[in-house]
Structures are given as C-alpha cells and as structure tokens.
Structure 1
Amino acid sequence: MSWTEPPAVQTLDVCVCTFRRASVEATLHSIAAQVLPEGFSLRVVVADNDDAPSARARVQAAADALELMVDYVHAPARNISTARNACLDAVTADWFAFIDDDETAAPDWIAKLWAAREGVDIVFGVAQALYAIDAPGWMVRGDYHTNTLARERTVISGYTSNVLVRTAIVGSLRFDPALGLVGGEDTLFFHALMRGGATFAFAPDALVFEPVSPARASLGWILKRKYRAGQTHAHLIRTSQPGQIGKVAVLAAAKSGYSLLGAVACAPMPTRAIQNLTRAVFHAGVVAYSLGGRFYAEYAKPAASG
C-alpha cells in the first residue's frame, strides 16, 4: 500500500465586529453553514466593541452549539475602527474575510470569494439589502442600501461588509480611529491598499444579506450617508492629490447644482428625482469638506476634518 501525503489545510479567518446586536448569532450560524472548498478550515474572530464584554456569553454559546472555532476579543471603545483593528491584530491565517454582525452569508459565500482570488489581493462580494415589505417603492427600486461594485475596472476603494483579503498585503496598515465614529474608514483603508499596489477583483455571486432596519429606511438617512460619502471622497483627494482639491471642489459645486435642478425637473418621477437629489447631496459633501468643513458624524459626535 502506497502512502499519500494528505492535502494541506487552507485556513481562513472570518472577522466580525459587533456592538450590542443579537443578530450576531445569525451571522455565526451562516458562517458555520458554509459549504467550503476541500481542505478548508475556518476560524472566526469576533471583536466586541461595547464598553463591557456584553457579547461574550452570546458568542460563546453560539460557538459551542455550532462547534465553530471562535476567538472572542473585547475591543472596548464604541469605535468601529478600534474593533476592526482588533480583528486585524488577531488574524493568523494567510487570508481573512469581513462580514457585518447584522448580515448573514449565503452557504457558498466563502467558496465564491475564494474562487475569484486568483492573481489578486482583495475580493469584494455583494452585501445585498433586504427591504421590508412596506418599504417605499422608490427606495427598493433605487436599492440605496446595497454595497456592490458595478465595474471592476473602476475599483479604487471598498467596504468591509463583504470582502476577502490576503493578510500579507495589509502589513502595519490599520483603520483610522479618527473616522471610527464618523464613517468612511473602510473606504480610506482600501484606498490606501490600492495606492500601495494591492489588486482587486469583484465576485458578484459572493452574497451576504443585510436587512434594512427602520432607522435606515428613510430618505433622511440616505441623504446623510451620501453627504458623508462625498466628504470621504474629498478627503481621499486631499490626502492623495492635494493640488487638485480646489479644482475638485469647483467641479463638485457645478455637479451639485446641476443634479439639484435635475431633481426639481424630475419631481413627477420620484425614483429619478431622488437619484438626482442623492447625487446633489454627495457633491455638496465634497464641496463642504473641501472648504474646511467637519465630517458629518454618522455614528456619534463629529471628528475634525483634515
């Protein structure tokens, strides 16, 4: 009888940041239900961002019931960057993934991300929004809450709601704590990796699902998110191409005005009107930050610009 060396085991760390959400249990269930490629081994890192380790018992109970290897890390600060950095510090595998604590993954999520990794350092999947049955029609049609990348060639940044990353490319880079109460820290993180030479791919069939909470199912929330996204975009320009920020601000002001006129002109067609309005607000955020304004604080008090 000949002896055959067993295949090497590929390990992957799945990172989950949590803050007082019971939904993290469903997230862990969906991770445990992954149909993995042959020779795969999963470990989960859960970073609890609460002041007290409030998620410890819930996470441990789920891990025991699911026979899931979980490393619970207490990362107190109520700052999402602190939690994400705690995950990065705990990663030991060659690749790691991020998923949010209010998301659940399709059973082939990891397999689809993994299949798209050849020749690249980072793979983004789709974080598909799930709208309530009574959500406004214009919101569902516009699908403002889904995180996706429309065309791979346009990728210059990304998000942590559904992503696979080769650990070696991260090095000492970390998420900016100054933006942990504001938002956009993941955009800047992936933009920095891109500027450092990291390569990206998009796996549109690698799906996770996120119910849209009542607090986010409003035009006001969408516009505030778009405004902050505009500020983040201006911050990227200021840090990477400081000589262009004035030109960008002027162009953004023109685009904001044009889009606002479009919103008024399309008033009888709510979906198109709101699309134009969100563009106007995005560009207004670019202008505001370019002129020295403060970041809109999406999660807490604002942080200083610059």
Structure 2
Amino acid sequence: MTETLCIDIAVCTYRRPQLADTLRSLGALVVPDGVTPRLIVADNDIGPSAERIVGEMAGRLPFPVVYVHCPASNISLARNACLDHSQAEWLAFIDDDCSASPDWLAALATKARQTGADAVLGPVAAIYGDAAPAWMRRGDFHSTNPVFVRGKLLTGYTCNVLMNVAAPSLKGRRFDLALGRTGGEDTEFFTGMVRDGGRLAFAETALASEPVPADRAQFGWLAKRRFRTGQTHGRLLAKASGGTSGKAVALAAAKAAFCAGGAVLTGLRPVARNRYALRSIMHGGVVSGLLGVREITLYGDASAGTERERDHAA
C-alpha cells in the first residue's frame, strides 16, 4: 500500500435502528497517520428511510459522508452501489448493526500492509441479551470468524472486511443480484476472488461487535441460516465441478446423517447437541444446493423490489 492511503468505509443499511450506533463507532475510530477515510452509506429501503439518521450524524463525524439511496430490499444492489461510488483504492465493509472497535480500521490496514493480501477479514463478536438461551451464550453460535481450510482462507464475508478493489482479482467484480435476498452473495464474491488468484488474510484484532436481537436468538433462525449456508456451498461446489456429482451428494448426505447421530448421542449436552444438529442441517443444505434447489430467502422484503430487480434475481 502507498504511504498516503484513502479508504472508503461502506455501510449497507435496511431499516436498521442500530445504524446510528454503527456510525458513532466509526466516528470514534483511531485513524492511522497517512490514512484518509470517507464513509458511504447505501440505503436499501424502498424509501430513503435512513437519510435523516445519516444527515444528522454526518455533521458529527470527522470525515466526509456520502449517502446513496439504492432501492429496494436486495443487499447485493446496496453492496454494488458502494463499489460504484467508491473513489478509493481500498474499501471496507461493516454491517449496519455492528460497532467497530477504535482500532478496527488500523488493524485491518496494518494486516493488509504486512501481508499484501487482496482482502483482510476481521472477527465479529456476538453480544447476547438476557433473553438468549444459556446454551446459545455458552456456545457462542452467532459470532463470525473465518474458516481456514488446510491453513488457507478460501472465502470470506462482508460484515468486517477491507479489500483492495484495484487488485486484479477484485477489479470490476460485483455481487450477484440473484443472491441479494437469500444471502450468500459475499461467499460467492470472495470464492470467485480466490479462484481468480486473490488472497485473503485475517486480522484478529480488527474487532467489531454485534448485538443479537431476540428474533435471531432462536434455534429456528440459526437452522435457517445454516441451511442456506449449506445451499450456497453446494451450489458453488456444483458450479466448480461443472455439474452435480452423485459422489458429492452422497458424501454430504452421509455427513448430515453422521451429525444427526451426534446430536442424538449428545442429547443431554445442549451446546454439543445443537452444534451437531446445526451441522447436520447445514450438510442437508449442501445436498439441496448440489441438486440445484434455489436458496431460501432470509433477508429483506421481496415485495419491495422493482420489477427489474426481481428479474435479475430470478
């Protein structure tokens, strides 16, 4: 990276009351010498519902703020709007319900400088309320960390990431609109980046935190999320191999059965039982994705999309 570095920070938002807290945390960042940040807020609601909050916060933040209204209810559309409005070589994404630690941006930038990676991921720590079940708090089922496969990162996420959008593996790359309501658009984005020669790194100290709302502090929500994650993984496996493999389907089904058995055997230990059960559900999603079943919708309001966006998502 160059000595003087411009970094755009992107926040995609959709009717999220925690947005003001996210912006306050970004305003409290310890900005490294030689780094010039700018903030892009992409409002994905059908109406400009976040414009007032962004306008009120803009005058309190120590760097420029750009508000972009990009309806409606398709997170890929919002992420692409951030890419299109970015004027910097480096672009960071953080979720609109996350709070950045003061050293968040510095830690990401330092790791990028040290490793030369095209993108750097940071951890997101879940903050549970009193209503969350004890097993969920003990097992920490909502925090986000990258998954290493034989010591390498093969995909990433957008809730906490800094990426060099000028790198060959990322230049011109966009998020798939067809995945904008199901989720998995970031998995596909970074899988493609790595496939095209890009490299991911992990900055352990680039911490963001995320409160877990009551409607997500439930086994049912976790199950739907894991199933959709499996669907995306299965679809990407089929795409990489040029079609559905009977061997891959059988292997995923066997893993689902094994984990289901593990859930039964650990029935009296809630953390282990539910971890096995969710793994079984995830592998079931892999089978679904390998067989070409479209990912379930988890986010947004499909009725809010324009006809053009629905056509793209079909």
Q: How do residues 282-301 of structure 1 correspond to structure 2 at under 5 angstroms?
A: 282-299=282-299
Cα shift readout 1:11-55 (whole Å, capped 9, x = no counterpart): 110000011122111111111111111121110000000111111
Equivalent in the alignment of 1:106 = 101
For the 8 Å contact 1:237–1:245, the answer to whether it is kept is no
Cα shift readout 1:82-139 (whole Å, capped 9, x = no counterpart): 0000000011111110001111100000011111113211100001111113321211
Q: How do residues 136-151 of structure 1 correspond to structure 2 at under 5 angstroms?
A: 136-151=133-148
Aligned identity (percent) is 44
Equivalent in the alignment of 1:4 = none
Equivalent in the alignment of 1:3 = none
Distance 2:165 2:231 in 1: 29
- Per the alignment, in what secondary structure is the counterpart of residue 282 of structure 1? helix
The range that moved more, 218-227 or 137-146, is 137-146
For the 8 Å contact 1:289–1:305, the answer to whether it is kept is no
Cα shift readout 1:34-83 (whole Å, capped 9, x = no counterpart): 11111211100000001111111210110112243101111012100000
Equivalent in the alignment of 2:39 = 44
Equivalent in the alignment of 1:168 = 166
Q: 1:305 to 1:230 in 2, by over 3 A?
A: farther
Distance 1:159 1:75 in 2: 21
Distance 1:239 1:289 in 2: 10
Q: How do residues 194-213 of structure 1 correspond to structure 2 at under 5 angstroms?
A: 194-213=194-213
Q: 1:50 to 1:154 in 2, by over 3 A?
A: same
- Per the alignment, in what secondary structure is the counterpart of residue 283 of structure 1? helix
State the 1:9 CA deviation: 3.3
Distance 2:153 2:194 in 1: 9
Cα shift readout 1:158-195 (whole Å, capped 9, x = no counterpart): 11000000011222211000010111000000001010
**Partner letter of residue 43 of structure 1?**
R
Q: How do residues 163-242 of structure 1 correspond to structure 2 at under 5 angstroms?
A: 163-169=161-167, 170-242=170-242
Distance 1:203 1:109 in 2: 9
**Partner letter of residue 224 of structure 1?**
K
State the 1:243 CA deviation: 4.8
* RMSD of equivalent CA atoms: 2.0
- Per the alignment, in what secondary structure is the counterpart of residue 210 of structure 1? strand
**Partner letter of residue 51 of structure 1?**
I
**Partner letter of residue 286 of structure 2?**
V
The range that moved more, 8-17 or 288-297, is 288-297
Distance 1:292 1:94 in 2: 37
For the 8 Å contact 1:121–1:166, the answer to whether it is kept is yes
**Partner letter of residue 22 of structure 2?**
T
Distance 1:261 1:251 in 2: 15
Equivalent in the alignment of 2:278 = 278
For the 8 Å contact 1:149–1:202, the answer to whether it is kept is yes
Distance 1:20 1:301 in 2: 14
For the 8 Å contact 2:177–2:313, the answer to whether it is kept is no
For the 8 Å contact 2:180–2:313, the answer to whether it is kept is no
Q: 1:260 to 1:52 in 2, by over 3 A?
A: same
Query: Larger C-alpha radius of gyration, 1 or 2?
Result: 1
TM-score (norm 2): 0.91
For the 8 Å contact 2:92–2:160, the answer to whether it is kept is yes
| Structure 2 portions without partners, runs of 5+ | 304-309
Distance 1:250 1:85 in 2: 36
Q: 1:125 to 1:222 in 2, by over 3 A?
A: same
Equivalent in the alignment of 1:126 = 123
Q: Which residue of the other structure, out of 139, 143, 154, is the alignment partner of 2:152?
A: 154
For the 8 Å contact 2:126–2:142, the answer to whether it is kept is yes
- Per the alignment, in what secondary structure is the counterpart of residue 206 of structure 1? coil
- Per the alignment, in what secondary structure is the counterpart of residue 201 of structure 1? strand
Q: 1:243 to 1:66 in 2, by over 3 A?
A: closer
Distance 2:105 2:228 in 1: 30
For the 8 Å contact 2:244–2:290, the answer to whether it is kept is no
Distance 1:99 1:12 in 2: 13
Distance 2:243 2:181 in 1: 28
TM-score (norm 1): 0.93
